[in-house]
Chains A and B, each alone.
Chain A
Amino acid sequence: MATDKELNDFLENVERRAFKQAVYAVRKDESALDIVQDAMIKLAEKYGDKPAAELPMLFQRILQTTILDYFRREKVRNTWVSLFSGFSRREGDDDDDFDILNSYEAEEGSAAAESSADQIEREQTLRLIEEEVQKLPTRQREAFLMRYWQDMDVAETAEAMGCSEGSVKTHCSRATHALAAALKAKGITL
């Protein structure tokens, strides 16, 4: 059974990555923070008495479910909004997404124009990598991040994603190849 300290250490260790994972999925920092908070509370409330070794898998499962719930709620809300107003919320969302991407590109452009210092170039590369990770298909991104970022093994990832170990390996392989191709196309070498 995980002690308070074990649970605290686990959450502290995982919270930033979980936040980024949620941002990659929902593309809104505020929503991502809410999602991570919900996932943390659900983990503590329902699985606080589980062994510390099971926490990573459980937390990932809860996080993915919470992200899915967010999309479901958004869909329902969009339906009602589009029913009661002339504007489609979905279009608004798309606009938001484009704004985010545009602002990223603008920042990259301005940063590159201002200086060619290594620091800025490095930041730009990191941001591009993040963008490419964000662009991956959802299941591929989940599998890739759980395996290589959250240090979960194939079995744990499969359990958290609710699929077979073979599927996890396939998702990871495809994600890595897609990232390699995308980074190569942008002239990024790691």
Chain B
Amino acid sequence: MNTDDINLAYKIRHALNEQLDTLPASTTDRLAAARAAALARKKADAPIEYFKPAPSGWREMLAGVGNFVSGPAMSRLAIAVPVLALVIGMGGVYQHEQQQQIAELADIDAAVLSDELPLNAYLDPGFSAYLESQQRRQ
């Protein structure tokens, strides 16, 4: 826009401003009432930030901890921590079960290997028949 256009724009602005003074009292009163209603419903001040620079005194430090505990970061943590604990717990139980199984198998192996009876005896069909006949007799 050239200078003439801008000059015209500001002259129009001046003319429009003059018209503002002729608004009826009922309108200005209503606008004032609307303003008062708006101010009465003004949004409260923004909440304090939860992560602040290191506090200098104990009081500030405790206040910072209090804010952290009651803040939205804490609510997120309140969900994340139990979930994490559950996952770790389930992993631990699985690991424990595996160890238990291995230990049982090791005990069986040790019992078999340390037995006086040689291992090849169990592969002999005659020995199996002998064991069955012994069990029937008992």
Binding site for B on A (CB under 8 A): 1, 4, 7-8, 11-12, 15-17, 19-20, 29, 33, 36-37, 40-41, 43-49, 123, 125-127, 129-130, 133, 144, 147-149, 169, 172-173, 176-177, 179-180, 190
B54 at the interface (CB under 8 A from A): no
User: Given known contacts A8-B35, A8-B39, A44-B41, is B23 in contact with A19 (CB within 8 Å)?
Assistant: yes
Are B5 and A20 within 8 A (Cβ)? Answer: no
A48 to B37, CA, bound (A): 13
Query: Which residues of the other chain, A, contact B32 by a CB distance below 8 angstroms?
Result: 15
Query: Which residues of the other chain, B, contact A15 by a CB distance below 8 angstroms?
Result: 31-32, 34-35
Are A172 and B1 within 8 A (Cβ)? Answer: yes
Which of B14-22, B78-86, B129-137 contacts its partner? B14-22
User: Given known contacts A4-B39, A20-B19, is B5 in contact with A176 (CB within 8 Å)?
Assistant: yes
Are B16 and A149 within 8 A (Cβ)? Answer: yes
Are B31 and A33 within 8 A (Cβ)? Answer: yes
Query: Which residues of the other chain, B, contact A37 by a CB distance below 8 angstroms?
Result: 30, 34, 37-38
List the 9 closest A-B pairs by CB distance, nearest first.
A48-B43, A37-B34, A40-B38, A190-B11, A48-B42, A44-B38, A44-B42, A15-B31, A148-B9
User: Given known contacts A1-B46, A11-B35, A19-B23, is B12 in contact with A45 (CB within 8 Å)?
Assistant: no
- Which among B38, B44, B45 has the greatest number of chain A C-beta atoms within 10 A? B38
Are B43 and A33 within 8 A (Cβ)? Answer: no
**Which range contains the number of B residues in contact with the other chain?**
20 to 34
Are B19 and A19 within 8 A (Cβ)? Answer: no
- Which among A4, A125, A169, A190 has the greatest number of chain B C-beta atoms within 10 A? A190
Q: Which residue of chain A has the shortest Cβ distance to B9 in the bound complex?
A: A148
A36 to B28, CA, bound (A): 12
Are B31 and A36 within 8 A (Cβ)? Answer: yes
Are B12 and A40 within 8 A (Cβ)? Answer: no
Query: Which residues of the other chain, A, contact B34 by a CB distance below 8 angstroms?
Result: 15, 33, 36-37, 40-41
Are A179 and B12 within 8 A (Cβ)? Answer: yes
